[in-house]
Amino acid sequence: MTCGRAIVLGAATLGLAACAAGSSAPRLTPGAAGSAGARGSTGSAGSGGPPACQVNVLPISPASFDGLSAGPSSIMRVRGEVTGAVPPLFDWNWTVSLADGSPVSVSSVGSDPSLVEFKMGSIGTYTIAVALTGTSCGGLRTITAAKPGGHVATFKLRVTPPSNERVPAQILERQVIGGTPTGGNVLALDPGIVVSFAFVRAQGGDALPSYVRITDAVSGAVLETHTSSNGPSTLRVAQGMYRTLVVPDGDVAPLTFPARSAAELSAGPMPLDDGTMIAGAVTDDSGAPVLGATVVLRAGELVSTTGTTDANGAFHVRARAGTFGVAVSSTLAAGRLEATLAAQGGLVVADATPPPALAIKLQAGPLVTGTVALSAKDAQSLTADTRITLAAMTPIADVATLAVGAGAPRLLTGDVRFSLHAAADGTLTTGGVPRGIYSLTVFPAKADTSDAVTTAMLDLSAGNGATAVALAQKVMLKGKLLPTDVAAGVRLVALDDGGLPIVSEGDAGSDGLFQMAVSPMRSYALRALPRPYQALARASFPVVPVQNIDYTVPDRSMPAALLYAGRVVDPSLQGVGAALVQAFCATATAGCTDTTTPIAETVTRSDGTFELMLPDPDGTP
């Protein structure tokens, strides 16, 4: 920090002798930030309303903030230009800091305290702050000395403010230059638009409470609310295009709206009719009514109400106009049988005219039973807590028919999903199921045994069947992280790529080698999570297929960490504390194969400041 004294005579500001280097001066608190880009960022100090004056930080030598370079002989000279009213006497206080907050020595030039210089010895950003003591006047500018030839990468930063902030979550795109740590970045949040929703019955005008879901047409982010009978419900949303789904309470058909701008979302009070009623009955293959079956029509995001059959097998649903698939779900042994008709070429519903009654016949045919004898190497693997799932490997044909009025019956295919538990002796029975080929997956009760999650085939296509399943033994997933001298301690996580809740973890050793026990015959997505003390960024690697033997992954390089520091501010340029900031790769790269998983995340401090460690686009350390 350096400081100097100035007096104002009319319109002129005169600098006097420099203050002592140890002069105490209040620290400048960065406030409103201005433009950002190649020239850095400018702004005024303090908070609240506009300051009485402002100090513009101007380049003197070099004459521009563009194309700056760092090195042992690189010196930046700047001048502070005061605009607005100032008191007759004040001190200049200058500070310069690197991206990580480290101070840079600042020197006065001659006797003019508004003119200072500092060395730019390292690549990165330099944040120049100046304050005039005894005033609310100040200035802030961040300049960049980029790494020559550094690669440019784009990241998506998702900022989620706390619920008490009147600012919506939003995604901002930012670029970084390889090898160039940056500070002073400002994530200025858009105030968004407050949209309101209210629905009333078309007949009578009574309030119609409804669930409302809006989906960002680009990012897929979802916002939800529920209107009440006491008035409209509001959401604050960022600028963008959104699809809308409305599901009224009670016996009123849901409806959807195509993507619309945020400004077009508000709806209320919007009158809704009940929709078209579709009635029918569900029977079994003997013609007896089926109690408790559920029927729903689906056309993409648009669904009907859900109908449940009564003791006579009768049901009704309500739907908007469109062409729908039909799904019928009924209880079957330890699970559900869902019979479906695809939407393409499915049931046509018109606004004014209900279709003829639907006749749905469940004709699974004679049910069969499967018996499985389970065994495991570790007795702790097979207990009452062992979870077993049974699912049809392919759609089961001809499990039901659908006839519309006097029309010819159309065949529905079926899907069976059960959750089972084995007896104390390790045996289990499926109960009655349609004939077909099933996939049986066994999850050991204890995850830390040598027994693996095991999937086996249960063939019941010809009738009742029995089989024995011995739980497979885990195999080792091995590999090496590079550079070995800095990768020691990185946590490796293997996630089942099929969506099952299977996770294995292991740490890289001093030689960069890692290994973890995983269930065989599965594919895994690999994540690498550095420790806080490591100058490395998170990484996601390509999916690894593991067979029934140990598998060694090709050497993987860890990306170097690149500091990206800054501040999240609201529309009034005040810092937003406790905001979640998550970084995502904009496009898939070698060290970031999954663009849906955050590669860095943090929570802002009370003043909105934050630091993220992003993958350096210039590669490994």
Domain end, chosen from 513, 540, 557, is at 557
Query: Residue 391's pLDDT is what?
Result: 93
Query: Residue 486's pLDDT is what?
Result: 93
- The residue among 191, 235, 236, 229 whose CA lies nearest residue 212 is 235
Q: Pick 118 or 86 by higher pLDDT.
A: 118
Neighbour-count burial for 320-349, b at 16+ CB within 10 Å, e otherwise: bbbebbbbbbbebbbbebbbbbebeebbeb
User: Is the same domain home to 580 and 544?
Assistant: no
Neighbours of 611 (CB within 10 A): 18
Neighbour-count burial for 265-275, b at 16+ CB within 10 Å, e otherwise: bbbebeebebb
The CATH number of whichever domain residue 511 belongs to comes to 2.60.40.1120
User: Is the same domain home to 88 and 172?
Assistant: no
d(CA 117, CA 60): 9
Q: Does 523 score more than 90 pLDDT?
A: yes
Q: Does 401 score more than 90 pLDDT?
A: yes
Residue 45 belongs to a domain = yes
The CATH number of whichever domain residue 140 belongs to comes to 2.60.40
**Torsion, CA 201, CA 202, CA 206, CA 208, rounded to 10:** 20
Query: Residue 561's pLDDT is what?
Result: 94
> Edge-to-edge strand order for the sheet containing 503-507?
503-507, 491-496, 522-529, 539-546
What pLDDT band is residue 497 in, cutting at 50, 70 and 90?
Answer: very high
Contact 161, 581 (CB under 8 A): no
Q: Does 23 score more than 90 pLDDT?
A: no
E strand spans, 320-384 = 322-332, 335-341, 347-349, 358-362, 370-375
Query: Residue 52's pLDDT is what?
Result: 65
- The residue among 319, 278, 275 whose CA lies nearest residue 298 is 319
Q: Does 5 score more than 80 pLDDT?
A: no
Q: Which residue has the tokens 């809308």?
A: 244
Q: What is the pTM of this model?
A: 0.80
Domain end, chosen from 272, 304, 338, is at 272
Total domain count for the chain? 4
Query: Residue 3's pLDDT is what?
Result: 59
Query: Residue 192's pLDDT is what?
Result: 93
Q: Which residue has the tokens 């729908």?
A: 324
Residue 321 belongs to a domain = no
Residue 387 belongs to a domain = no
Query: Residue 490's pLDDT is what?
Result: 97
User: Is the same domain home to 13 and 115?
Assistant: yes
DSSP β-bridge partners for residue 119: 75
- DSSP label at residue 486: H
**Angle at alpha carbon of residue 262, lines to 259 and 266, rounded to 5°:** 95
DSSP β-bridge partners for residue 56: 81
Query: Residue 345's pLDDT is what?
Result: 82
User: Is the same domain home to 495 and 597?
Assistant: no
Residue 521 belongs to a domain = yes
User: Is the same domain home to 520 and 567?
Assistant: no
Query: What φ, ψ does residue 298 adopt, rounded to 5°?
Result: -135, 135
Q: Mean pLDDT, the chain, as a whole number?
A: 89
Average of pLDDT values for 525-550?
Answer: 93
User: Is the same domain home to 136 and 97?
Assistant: yes
Neighbours of 445 (CB within 10 A): 18
Average of pLDDT values for 140-162?
Answer: 95
d(CA 559, CA 585): 13
Task: Write the single-letter amino acid at 131.
Answer: A
d(CA 117, CA 80): 11
Average of pLDDT values for 300-323?
Answer: 96
Say which residues have a Cβ less than 8 Å from residue 539's Cβ, sequence separation at least 6: 527, 528, 556, 558, 559, 591, 592, 599, 615
What pLDDT band is residue 24 in, cutting at 50, 70 and 90?
Answer: very low
User: Is the same domain home to 64 and 198?
Assistant: no
What are the DSSP calls for 106-165, one per residue? Answer: -EEETTEEEEEEEE--SSEEEEEEEEETTSS-EEEEEEEEPPTTPPEEEEEEEEE--TTS
Q: What is the pLDDT of residues 76-117, one digit of tens each?
A: 999 999 998 887 788 999 999 999 999 999 999 999 999 999
Query: Residue 521's pLDDT is what?
Result: 95
First-to-final CA distance of the chain = 32
Please report which helix (H) or strand (E) contains residue 282, including its range: strand 276-284
What pLDDT band is residue 8 in, cutting at 50, 70 and 90?
Answer: very low
**Angle at alpha carbon of residue 116, lines to 150 and 125, rounded to 5°:** 20
**Angle at alpha carbon of residue 91, lines to 86 and 97, rounded to 5°:** 110
Average of pLDDT values for 565-575?
Answer: 95
What pLDDT band is residue 276 in, cutting at 50, 70 and 90?
Answer: very high
User: Is the same domain home to 9 and 130?
Assistant: yes
User: Is the same domain home to 7 and 138?
Assistant: yes
Neighbour-count burial for 6-16, b at 16+ CB within 10 Å, e otherwise: beeeeeebebe
Q: Does 12 score more than 60 pLDDT?
A: no
What pLDDT band is residue 44 in, cutting at 50, 70 and 90?
Answer: very low
The pair of structure tokens assigned to 181 is 């740590």
Contact 282, 337 (CB under 8 A): no
What pLDDT band is residue 621 in, cutting at 50, 70 and 90?
Answer: low
Residue 288 belongs to a domain = no
The pair of structure tokens assigned to 451 is 């027994």
Burial of 288 (0-12, 13-18, 19+ CB in 10 A): exposed
Query: Residue 568's pLDDT is what?
Result: 97
Say which residues have a Cβ less than 8 Å from residue 201's Cβ, sequence separation at least 6: 208, 252, 271, 272, 273
Question: In angstroms, what CA-CA distances link 150 with 124, 254, 584?
Answer: 11, 52, 20
DSSP three-state, residue 270: strand
Q: What is the pLDDT of residues 225-260, one digit of tens each?
A: 999 988 889 999 999 999 999 999 999 999 999 999
Q: Does 164 score more than 80 pLDDT?
A: yes
User: Is the same domain home to 187 and 197?
Assistant: no
Residue 300 belongs to a domain = no
**Angle at alpha carbon of residue 144, lines to 138 and 146, rounded to 5°:** 175
- The residue among 480, 250, 285 whose CA lies nearest residue 365 is 285
Query: Residue 1's pLDDT is what?
Result: 60
User: Is the same domain home to 10 and 124?
Assistant: yes
- The residue among 230, 57, 17 whose CA lies nearest residue 141 is 57
Residue 267 belongs to a domain = yes
User: Is the same domain home to 109 and 214?
Assistant: no
Range of the domain at 519: 475-557
Say which residues have a Cβ less than 8 Å from residue 153's Cβ, sequence separation at least 6: 175, 176, 178, 585, 586, 589, 614, 615, 617
Query: How many whole angstroms from its chain centre is CA 60?
Result: 45
Domain end, chosen from 145, 176, 202, is at 145
d(CA 288, CA 304): 26
Contact 518, 541 (CB under 8 A): no
- DSSP label at residue 484: H
Neighbours of 180 (CB within 10 A): 24
Q: Which residue has the tokens 């990241």?
A: 155
Contact 104, 126 (CB under 8 A): yes
d(CA 384, CA 394): 29
Residue 176 belongs to a domain = yes
d(CA 490, CA 492): 6
- Preceding amide of 520 cis, omega within 30: no
